[in-house]
C-alpha cells in the first residue's frame, strides 16, 4: 500500500492510499505504524523541500523512516 508523508505543525503526517492518516512526532513510530499497515519502504513518498519547504520532512526523519522500514523488511526486529 502506498503512503505519502509530510510535515504539519512539526508533526509527521502519513496518509495511506486507502485514506487512513497517522500523525506522529517520532519517525520510528511512524515507520512502525506504516509497517503494521503493510507499507514497504519502496511504497513511501515524502515531499521534497524543493516542492514544499514547509511541509517536507527533515532529512533525519527520512533516513529514520526508510531505515526502520528496510530493517523490518529484512526481518531485523
Check whether 76 has a pLDDT greater than 70: no
16-57 pLDDT, tens per residue? 999 999 999 999 999 999 999 999 999 999 988 898 989 999
Asked whether the predicted pLDDT for residue 77 surpasses 60, the reply is no
Number of domains observed in the structure of the chain = 1
Angle (deg, nearest 10), helices 59-73 and 27-36: 40
What is the SS3 assignment for 2-70?
Answer: CEEEEEECCEEEEEECCCCEEEECCHHHHHHHHHHCCCCHHHEEECCCCCCCCCCCCHHHHHHHHHHHH
Q: Which domain holds residue 29?
A: 3-73
Give the count of beta carbons closer than 10 Å to the beta carbon of residue 43: 15
Over 80: is that where the pLDDT of 64 sits? yes
Amino acid at each position: 500500500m502506498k503512503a505519502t508523508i509530510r510535515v504539519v505543525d512539526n508533526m509527521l503526517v502519513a496518509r495511506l492510499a486507502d485514506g487512513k492518516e497517522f500523525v506522529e512526532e517520532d519517525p520510528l513510530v511512524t515507520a512502525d505504524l506504516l509497517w503494521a499497515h503493510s507499507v514497504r519502504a519502496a511504497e513511501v513518498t515524502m515531499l521534497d523541500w524543493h516542492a514544499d519547504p514547509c511541509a517536507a520532512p527533515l532529512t533525519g526523519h527520512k533516513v529514520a523512516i526508510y531505515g526502520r522500514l528496510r530493517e523490518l523488511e529484512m526481518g531485523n526486529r
